Amino acid sequence: MNAAVRAVVRMSIAQGCEAYAIYEGYEGLVQGGGLIKRMHWEDVRGWLSEGGTLIGTARCKKFTERAGRLQGAKNLVLAGIDALVVCGGDGSLTGADIFRSEWPGLLAELIELGELAEEQCSPFKTLNIVGLVGSIDNDMSSTDATIGAYSSLTRICQAVDFIDATAYSHSRAFVVEVMGRHCGWLALMAGLSTGADFVFLPEKPPQDKWEGEMCRIIKTHRTAGKRKTIVIVAEGAIDRELKPITATYVRDILVDELRLDTRITTLGHVQRGGTACAFDRILATLQGGEAVRAVLESTPDTLSPMIAINENKITRKPLMDAVRLTKAVAECIKNKDFAGAMNLRDPEFEEYHRAYMVTTKPDELSEKAPQDKRMRIAIIHVGAPAGGMNAATRAAATFCLNRGHRPFAIHNGFPGLVRHDSVRELNWLTVEGWAIRGGSEIGTNRSLPSEDMGMVAWYFQRYKFDGLLIIGGFEAYHALTELHSARDSYPAFRIPMICLPATISNNVPGTEFSIGSDTCLNALIEYCDAIKQSASASRRRVFVVECQGGKSGYVATMAGLSVGALAVYTPEEGINLNMLKDDIDHLRESFANDKGMNRAGKLILRNEKASKTYTTEIIASIIREEANGRFESRTAIPGHVQQGGTPSPMDRVRAVRLAVKCIQFLESNKKAPKEVFKDPSTSAVIGVRGASVVFTSIEDLRGAETDWDSRRPRKAFWLDYRGLVNTLGGRAGTPTG
């Protein structure tokens, strides 16, 4: 929420408008006075790294009545405000739309009562309303994600990860209750992210006699050798007769039926705490900027918009349509129309639920593929480690087992295969616990198969692989192009092959997002928050932070949005003397405007390949020289810290979803070698483009869409965000007073 306020304030000022913050929600609007405060550029400095909401929030009964809204209208006119950006849930947004619809009548009444003169009201004939959705439950229809949801999921996963160690050590069961009265998004995503044994959701109640089914699954897991049990219960979980399923009841079943030492953990408001994760900072910043644009483009006839994210693009949706659909979910649940409730959720919700089920129940006979369709599938990691590689491997292996396939891990990349015959078959217990581990459990290597293509083909033939899943970055993509080209000479490669992009650099053609990039951004913003704190404590200091990413500026740009960088240098844009001169002038002006304020530290982010000449050290030295003692500069190089430790929840859930689809791709392309050889689409990259998962043939990608010299796609969706980084950082002549 603080990131949204910061973006709205600075974008408003950049557009030549006045920005105000209304403290304590609608309560502040009704009371007015000092709770409506003019905001300046420096007032929101440092807000990105603050949790909660710094302008406060409060439930306001007065605003639900016309008298309260009448007082609110008066206070807005007195303050000279003609537009409201409201960040909240469906109740707050509904109240805002009612306020807008009543606005002409409220002004007329204020004039009639003598509270305001007609000339005071004449400039404010229209009140424009824009809604931003702030909800940890991710329960608003028409948008893929709400501000705060992924930060809350991060807290839950951190807690369950910690519980996991205790559960394993004592061979215990834990029942974890998470928030979600009418929406099970948090519970489902936490279950996917942590490898929980069972989850309970409001929209998808378990079948009748679910107690026996839950015990059967957990007993199967325990018999296989699993030492711990995690069950996640949404607070609104119910059975098919709308009877609440409580954490206490679930615990009692595990104790009485399975004789498990079982404890309950209720996370409560811990889920709302802490600083925002990278995705939420980026989402709120992009939506805040779009909200200001929406205000400026609104007319009296424009429906109040809600700023959403769809197809990985910021969009505008009719606010009340979204609210109506959201309320319809609760109505469907009340009427036991659970299929309707699931249909009203985002389409990905059902997909994630299916992915969870097929990776949790490995012995489900009904899910087995026919004997003649069962495959021997190889899984290999290629390139640098990235968060989520292990989660993807676990999901792929468990789904294979669920379908009756045999998954094999090739350890330590292609060199491991040709030098050490490093093929090991995976079983359910082997990959248990991999969902939460960083790095690569089977080892990874940058080497390409062309270093010894003949031996790679020999081993493929020896193990009779029917399909190949390559998980990794640009090297993995490059390896797939080589194997595809080698089909002419080596029949062993005439099998379906798929690349699942996993790299912190997010530079693989065919996808907008790679697994590991979100983990990288979270590690980097945590590092930058600490650096900025040091810079602030020193008052007049700027840090030049060197970011990884190869010749892709994705990490630097998105981190710049997340930490409020003053400037970002990328390979796509390069660095020149004029740019450095302008940025040093901007630093002088920015420090002059601080006037002894706290949180006055500055950050400049430089991609490691942005320039061969202007290195991180040289830029810091130039700044130090040109500052003439007014401020100082330091370098900070996080290096491989950016690969992260524990993968972020977003990378974990994406890894599961994409890995399952990869195995389905291999299944659907199981054909005779001659048919595979004739069909180039059997070698593909899986990717997220928009809100859709797509498979793009290697032959379609390696020509027009790949910049081989720079090892990146020729087009990147995030390049459009560079202007926003500059605007909100006050760069390029933006007024900062």
Mean pLDDT for the stretch of residues 397-425: 96
Q: State yes or no: pLDDT of 200 exceeds 60.
A: yes
pLDDT of 344 > 90? The answer is no
Residues of the chain within CATH 3.40.50.460 domain(s) are 149-272, 520-645+721-729
- State pLDDT tens for residues 683-728: 999 998 876 789 999 999 998 899 999 999 999 999 989 999 999 9
Return the pLDDT at 682.
97
Which three-class secondary structure state does DSSP give residue 205? coil
Q: Determine whether 715 is exposed, middle or buried from the number of CB atoms within 10 Å of its CB (0-12, 13-18, 19+).
A: exposed
pLDDT over 60 at 111, yes or no = yes
- Cβ–Cβ under 8 Å, residues 520 and 548: yes
Q: What is the band of 595 on the pLDDT scale with cuts at 50, 70, 90?
A: low
Amino acid in the structure at residue 420: H
Query: What are the tokens at 406?
Result: 């045999």
- Is 320 annotated in a binding site? The answer is no
Over the stretch 488-502, which tens digit does the pLDDT of each residue have? 999 999 999 999 999
Binned at pLDDT 50, 70 and 90, residue 735 comes out as very low
Distances (CA, A) of 504 to 517, 554, 648, 662: 4, 9, 12, 20
376-382, strands of its sheet edge to edge: 423-425, 406-410, 376-382, 467-472, 497-501, 683-689, 692-697
**First-last CA distance in the chain:** 23
2-145+276-331 folds as Rossmann fold (3.40.50)
DSSP per position, 72-86: HHHHHHHHT--EEEE
The annotation status of 388 as a binding-site residue, yes or no, is no
| Active site amino acids | 137
Query: What does the mean pLDDT of the chain come to?
Result: 93
Instruction: Give the architecture-level CATH label for domain 149-272.
Output: 3-Layer(aba) Sandwich (3.40)
Non-local CB neighbours of 721 within 8 Å, separated by 6+ positions: 286, 557, 558, 561
pLDDT digit string, tens, across residues 557-583 = 999 999 999 999 999 999 999 999 999
What pLDDT does residue 599 have? 55
The answer for residues whose C-beta is within 8 angstroms of residue 326's C-beta and 6 or more apart is 90, 139, 140, 141
Give the single-character DSSP code of 273. -
The reply to whether 179 sits in an annotated binding site is: yes
Separation between Cα atoms, residue 19 and residue 26, nearest integer Å: 17
Given a cut of 50, is residue 263 above it in pLDDT? Answer: yes
Q: How confident is the model at residue 26 (pLDDT cuts 50, 70, 90)?
A: very high
Distances 403 to 365, 377, 410 between C-alpha atoms, Å? 8, 12, 20
What is the per-residue pLDDT across 72-109, written as a single tens digit (0 to 9) for each? 999 999 999 999 999 999 889 999 999 999 999 999 99
CA distances to 41, 80, 137 from 237, rounded to whole Å, are: 45, 46, 14
365-515+647-702: what fold?
Answer: Rossmann fold (3.40.50)
pLDDT for position 59: 87
Burial per residue of 143-154, b for 16 or more beta-carbon CB atoms within 10 angstroms, e otherwise: bbbbbbbbbbbb
Q: State the Cα–Cα distance between residues 265 and 176, nearest whole angstrom.
A: 5
Which element (helix H / strand E) includes 130? Answer: strand 128-133
CA 504 – CA 488 distance, rounded (Å): 33
Instruction: Flag whether pLDDT at 539 surpasses 80.
Output: no
What pLDDT was estimated at residue 734?
A: 46
Tokens standing for residue 714: 């020729």
CATH of span 520-645+721-729: 3.40.50.460
What value does the mean pLDDT take over residues 536-553? 90
36-39 vs 19-22, strand pairing mode: antiparallel
| Contact criterion met (CB below 8 Å) for 178 and 192 | no
Q: Where in the chain is the domain with CATH 3.40.50.450?
A: 2-145+276-331, 365-515+647-702
Which pLDDT belongs to residue 692? 78
Decide if 686 contacts 499 (C-beta within 8 A): yes
Q: What is the pLDDT of residues 149-167, one digit of tens each?
A: 999 999 999 999 999 888 8
3-state helix/strand/coil string of 429-496: CCCCCHHHCCCCCCCCECCCHHHHHHHHHHHHHHHCCCEEEEEECHHHHHHHHHHHHHHHCCHHHCCC
pTM reported for the whole predicted model: 0.94
- To the question of whether residue 690 is assigned a binding role by annotation, the answer is no
* Confidence band, pLDDT 50/70/90 cuts, at residue 347: confident
Query: Above pLDDT 90, what percent of the chain?
Result: 81
Angle at 330 between CA 325 and CA 334, to 5 degrees: 135
506 is in an annotated binding site: yes
* DSSP three-state, residue 636: strand
- pLDDT mean over 441-464: 97
User: Which of 254, 267, 268 lies closest to 173, judged by CA?
Assistant: 254
- Residue 270, annotated as binding a ligand: yes
What does the pLDDT read at residue 367? Answer: 82
Strand partners, 567: 604
Residue 412 contacts by C-beta under 8 Å, 6 or more apart in sequence? 420, 422, 442, 443, 444, 445
